[in-house]
Amino acid sequence: MKKILLLNGGTRKTGSSSMFLTELKQIMEGKKHQVNILHVIDELDGKLTLEALVEAIEESDLIGISCSCFVNTLASPTIECLEKLLEVEEGVFKNKQIFVIAHGGMPYLDVHEHIVKVIDCFAEKKKMIFLGGLICGLTPLINGKPLDEGNFVSKRIKKAFMQLSEEVLSGKSISKATQKQIFFKIPYLAQYPLATFLTHTCIKDRLAHGINLKDIYKNI
């Protein structure tokens, strides 16, 4: 049995970053492993001490982190937390395995690839074993809903998660075959309507939380 720590690097506890980890937790616990989920945002809010986070990492055999893409970088609480962890003694992290799930609105791999590179760089500095990353596009279409309740994007991601779990639990890197399962090739003529739809979805979601993006960004 492995002890697995899954870190939600998103800014919401009910968003897709968190939901992805809940799905992975169910899959991995079904294989008789012990899984714990922690939210990086709790460290920023003071609900999770850095010492408790470091202790959780030290006790784990495998660490996974789920991060959403914010323009061209990670969420600021995640960056801040990683910077703090860089100052922690190297022995806590050495030879521990780590992988990442990167996701965002666009379907193209290169748009979100920087998240994978950031975690790869972190792993290298802390002498960890990096098992790679899985990039998921079009996730605003899911918006935190359980994968079993979703659409064609959800179904593909669920299938890829099953394969990802097999790989990382065996100490193997996430394969190109796993990534290929959720690669979406969007025809050129469909790109503008898709971008319009995703923007409308984002505006509607924020409005439901009391934020009117049209008041903030007048050109929307």
DSSP state at residue 173: P
DSSP state at residue 140: G
Per-residue pLDDT of the chain (220 residues; tens, 9 = 90+): 899 999 999 888 888 899 999 999 999 999 999 999 999 999 888 899 999 999 999 999 999 999 988 767 888 889 999 999 999 998 999 999 999 999 887 777 777 889 999 999 999 999 999 999 999 887 777 777 888 877 778 888 999 999 999 999 999 999 999 998 886 666 666 666 766 766 777 677 768 768 776 777 666 5
Q: What pLDDT score does 151 carry? A: 77
Please tell me the pTM assigned to this model.
0.84
Total tally of structural domains belonging to the chain: 2
Q: Are residues 159 and 103 in the same domain?
A: yes
- Output b/e per residue, 178-190; b: 16+ Cβ within 10 A: bbebbeeeeeeee
DSSP state at residue 184: -
Q: What pLDDT score does 188 carry? A: 60
Q: What pLDDT score does 104 carry? A: 83
Domain of 215, in residue numbers: 186-220
Q: Show the DSSP H helices in 46-169 as ranges.
A: 50-58, 76-86, 109-125, 152-169
Q: What pLDDT score does 173 carry? A: 98
Q: Are residues 39 and 104 in the same domain?
A: yes
Q: Are residues 119 and 135 in the same domain?
A: yes
Residue among 73, 63, 99, 59 nearest 11 (CA): 73
Q: Are residues 70 and 115 in the same domain?
A: yes
Backbone angles phi, psi at 136, to 5 degrees: -115, 120
Q: Are residues 126 and 208 in the same domain?
A: no
Q: Are residues 33 and 78 in the same domain?
A: yes
Residue among 190, 184, 48, 173 nearest 123 (CA): 173
Question: What is the distance between the alpha carbons of residues 152 and 164, in angstroms, rounded to a whole number?
Answer: 18
Who's near 36: CB < 8 A, 6+ residues apart? 3, 4, 5, 6, 56, 60
Tokens 């962890």 found at: 85
Q: Are residues 54 and 35 in the same domain?
A: yes
For the record, the structure tokens of 180 come out as 């290929």
Q: Are residues 124 and 50 in the same domain?
A: yes
